[in-house]
Amino acid sequence: MEGHAPILEKLTSQINSLLERLNQYEQGFRKEQEQRQMLIQALEQKNQELESKNKEIVSLYEEIERLEGREKEKELELENLANQIQLRLGGTQNEQSVQQQSY
């Protein structure tokens, strides 16, 4: 039995060394998992912020399109008014020239 003692001590030492390395590996693995989880949470939060900003941008583009549509409507109204004024002024000038010719 005494002859086996050095072998048992050596095996015990190797087992303890392996257990210590395993423990260190597990601690490192847990740290990586925690860091990964923190990164996932940060990415999810950033994604929510970007989605919110994207919705805001879409809303602004829709508002721009609506305003551009109103602007085009106003331009058409102004053109129609200008045409009506032109027609009325032209009609008035025609009436005046007819009156002058009749004298």
pLDDT tens, position by position, 3-15:
778 899 999 999 9
- The yes-or-no verdict on residue 94 having pLDDT over 70 is no
Distance CA 10, CA 62 (A): 76
Residue with tokens 């939060």: 45
Distance CA 72, CA 49 (A): 35
pLDDT tens per residue across span 31-63: 999 999 999 999 999 999 999 999 999 999 999
